[in-house]
Structure 1
Amino acid sequence: MSTYKEIVLVNRPKNGQIGAYLFQEQQKNIPTAGEGEILIKQTHMSLDPAMLGWMSEDRGSYIPPVELGEVMRSSGVGEVIESNHADFSVGDKVMGMTGWREYLLSDGKGFNKLPPGVNEEMALCVFALPGLTATTGLYHFGKPKAGETLIVTGAAGSVGSIVGQMAKADGLRVIGVVGSDDKADWIVNELGFDGAINYKSDNLAEQLKALTPDRIDIFFENTGGPIQQLIFNRMNTHGRIVVCGMIADYQSSNPAPGPNWIPLIKKRITIQGFAMPDHWHEIPQLLEKLTPYVKAGKIKYRAHVVEGLSNAQEGLNMLFEGKNTGKMIVKL
């Protein structure tokens, strides 16, 4: 009988560090689809910053942690290779929560077929968690208006790049914060941002002031870090801060302190944190909002692909070290 590979979580992260000690690779027999089931061969798997939280012993988070001994959680794209389900046929390409494994059985719940013309990389880079998260944060909480100024951290990342491109298409001035000159060049010259700041460079306050002459109306926060306070100080009255992620603090034992609340009162600033599980029921409406931007050619993306399930941990480390140059994907 043929076998497949899966990776289970066997330890909790120590001091937020990702390493081989967290995981165990197992070989399993490839199953057969039963009544009402489909057998999926996963071909592309997403790696996301949220995974560190999913591995941690945090019962108060927005989603329960992965239990020890369980297959590590992830979304992915695969091909149906066996079907006893009326809604799926052999050869269908589907997307859903797959986990760190090469094959899986499903009753079809939570899996959707890829639309015509959408390949695996586009599905994970745009129509999966990145695009849904960007659309939710920007339009539910950012409430953009043409002529306003938006700044997004992690701007070359999978979520930040989509936020910036949609805002730009809506007529906003868009500034991105990134971690390298190459990423700055990409978001300005390829994605059409109005400006970029490499947070590792000097004179951050001066750069920020020069790029936001009308100050800032929307701050879409993906990373945290020292530049956060500088951005906060440039907010306009009635500004909106959308807190999506804080990757700079996920591995820190002493996260950076938040802003002084007095300016929040003076400027009547709104701060909203959010997580996608609260919005799963809105996915059809979110896709209806996102899809026209994609069809109009307003959304570009790039994927950073690592080969093989055994290299998933390496890819996750690259994500937290900022070494990726696009949406992090494992090609199985």
Structure 2
Amino acid sequence: MQYKAITFVKRPIADITADTFELVTLETPVLKDGEFLVKQTHMSLDPAMRTWMQDNPNSYIPPIAIGEVMRSFGVGEVVESKNPAFPVGARVIGNTGWAEYVLGGADMQVVPHDLPVEALMCVLHVPGLTAYVGLFEVLRPKAGETLVVSGAAGSVGSLVGQMAKAEGLRVIGIAGSDEKCRWLEDELGFDRAINYRSANLAEQLAEAAPNGVDIYFENTGGPIQQVVFERMNRFGRITVCGMIADYNREVPAPGPSWVDINLKALRVEGFVIVDHYDKAPKAVEVLTGYLQKGQIKYRAHVLQGLESAIEGVNLLFNGDNQGKLLVEL
């Protein structure tokens, strides 16, 4: 049986262009003992994909090789199996790729059929684990503190802000449009949301955080970074989860001065989620609790068809996605 897949054929210098990928037709493999075949139904598009495309030997994960199927994670159904732990009909989630069919891997997990796919992809898998680790394991928030989260309308940032609100913090979100800011304030309950495209960022942040910023969840970089950094309180904490504004730049923008890190006794810590998979059971428990109490809302931006990923991935970098970006196959 043949199926469609999208391979990675050219490392982008700046923006991701259509010729970065190639649509190909492949043959489904003959299964060996212990293997299973998954028909993918939904796959995730994530900012980290841009870093996977870089030929960077110092990255946390090997770069995608030229000619490989583009990397992603997704959800699907087992359609053929020689592995009793993954029977035909089982629903699974894990590393997949831009393809209609994938060979199941050791990282895959069986998940209930009755769990809505959007809840699974938006909250209870990588976005939720990332938000949980960055907020609770790295930043360790305290009730009454002020949190700023950039990329606040994205899959991770929106969860960070809602969990922080549930824990009694003042939450300020940074997003890329007035519509996203209204959603953060009116639907998710953020105390304030600021459009980073505004001309008076510093004035708006000073008004939103008159007592300074205690913790900063950094997802994007860009012009807001320095503005937030300058308002950090002594003993503040910053976690660097992502730098979307720099992913398409040949040379990253200069960062804040280490002088204030010293004088304000700030703690700055980067993290990548592959180092924290051991925390997934606890994260799922905590996130499920928030969902059951109605303290977390989410939305997905769903594209249709495998080929939509080729152009759709850029929605992550121009800010036009409205929620967690998914492809329905």
**How does the TM-score come out when normalised to structure 2?**
0.96
Partners of 2:319 and 2:274 in 1: how far apart?
A: 25
Q: Tell me which residue corresponds to 1:69.
A: 67
Q: Tell me which residue corresponds to 1:260.
A: 257
Partners of 2:56 and 2:126 in 1: how far apart?
A: 21
Q: Tell me which residue corresponds to 2:9.
A: 10
Partners of 2:113 and 2:139 in 1: how far apart?
A: 31
Amino acid at match of 1:22: T
Partners of 1:42 and 1:89 in 2: how far apart?
A: 15
Partners of 1:276 and 1:95 in 2: how far apart?
A: 16
Residue in structure 2 matching 1:82, options 80, 83, 86: 80
Paired residue secondary structure (2:132): helix
Whether the aligned pair in 2 keeps the contact of 1:72 and 1:99 (CA below 8 Å) is: yes
Whether the aligned pair in 2 keeps the contact of 1:38 and 1:83 (CA below 8 Å) is: yes
1:137 is displaced (CA, Å) by: 0.6
Partners of 2:260 and 2:26 in 1: how far apart?
A: 57
1:278 is displaced (CA, Å) by: 1.2
Q: Tell me which residue corresponds to 1:41.
A: 39
1:296 is displaced (CA, Å) by: 1.9
Stretch deviating more after TM superposition (240-249 or 86-95): 86-95
Write out per-residue CA displacement over residues 145-198 of structure 1, whole angstroms, 9 at most, x where no aligned residue: 111000000000011000000000000000000000000000111111000000
Paired residue secondary structure (1:249): helix
Kindly indicate whether residue 320 of structure 2 is the aligned counterpart of residue 326 of structure 1: no
Residue in structure 1 matching 2:179, options 179, 182, 189: 182
Residue in structure 1 matching 2:240, options 232, 239, 243: 243
Partners of 1:113 and 1:299 in 2: how far apart?
A: 24
Amino acid at match of 1:57: D
Stretch deviating more after TM superposition (183-192 or 292-301): 292-301
RMSD over equivalenced CA pairs, Å: 1.3
Write out per-residue CA displacement over residues 190-228 of structure 1, whole angstroms, 9 at most, x where no aligned residue: 111000000111321111011112211100000111121
Paired residue secondary structure (1:127): coil
Whether the aligned pair in 1 keeps the contact of 2:91 and 2:113 (CA below 8 Å) is: no
Whether the aligned pair in 1 keeps the contact of 2:127 and 2:155 (CA below 8 Å) is: yes
Amino acid at match of 2:34: G
Whether the aligned pair in 2 keeps the contact of 1:95 and 1:112 (CA below 8 Å) is: yes
Partners of 1:279 and 1:179 in 2: how far apart?
A: 29
Whether the aligned pair in 1 keeps the contact of 2:79 and 2:89 (CA below 8 Å) is: yes
Stretch deviating more after TM superposition (114-123 or 193-202): 114-123
Partners of 1:280 and 1:134 in 2: how far apart?
A: 13
Kindly indicate whether residue 188 of structure 2 is the aligned counterpart of residue 191 of structure 1: yes
Q: What percentage of residue pairs aligned between the two structures are identical?
A: 56
Partners of 1:295 and 1:89 in 2: how far apart?
A: 30
Partners of 2:285 and 2:121 in 1: how far apart?
A: 17
Partners of 1:298 and 1:80 in 2: how far apart?
A: 33
Paired residue secondary structure (1:18): coil
Partners of 1:240 and 1:251 in 2: how far apart?
A: 27
**How does the TM-score come out when normalised to structure 1?**
0.96
Whether the aligned pair in 2 keeps the contact of 1:32 and 1:39 (CA below 8 Å) is: no
Q: Tell me which residue corresponds to 2:55.
A: 57
Shift of the 310–214 alpha-carbon distance from structure 1 to 2, 3 Å rule, reads same
1:28 is displaced (CA, Å) by: 1.4
Kindly indicate whether residue 96 of structure 2 is the aligned counterpart of residue 98 of structure 1: yes
Whether the aligned pair in 2 keeps the contact of 1:178 and 1:199 (CA below 8 Å) is: yes
Amino acid at match of 1:51: M
Whether the aligned pair in 2 keeps the contact of 1:166 and 1:299 (CA below 8 Å) is: yes
1:144 is displaced (CA, Å) by: 0.4
Residue in structure 1 matching 2:272, options 255, 266, 275: 275
Partners of 1:150 and 1:117 in 2: how far apart?
A: 35
1:293 is displaced (CA, Å) by: 1.4
Partners of 1:24 and 1:314 in 2: how far apart?
A: 12
Kindly indicate whether residue 145 of structure 2 is the aligned counterpart of residue 138 of structure 1: no
Q: Tell me which residue corresponds to 1:223.
A: 220
Partners of 1:261 and 1:169 in 2: how far apart?
A: 32
Write out per-residue CA displacement over residues 251-308 of structure 1, whole angstroms, 9 at most, x where no aligned residue: 1233221112222122101000111111123322332332211222211111111111
Partners of 1:81 and 1:295 in 2: how far apart?
A: 32
Whether the aligned pair in 1 keeps the contact of 2:214 and 2:235 (CA below 8 Å) is: yes
Paired residue secondary structure (2:55): coil
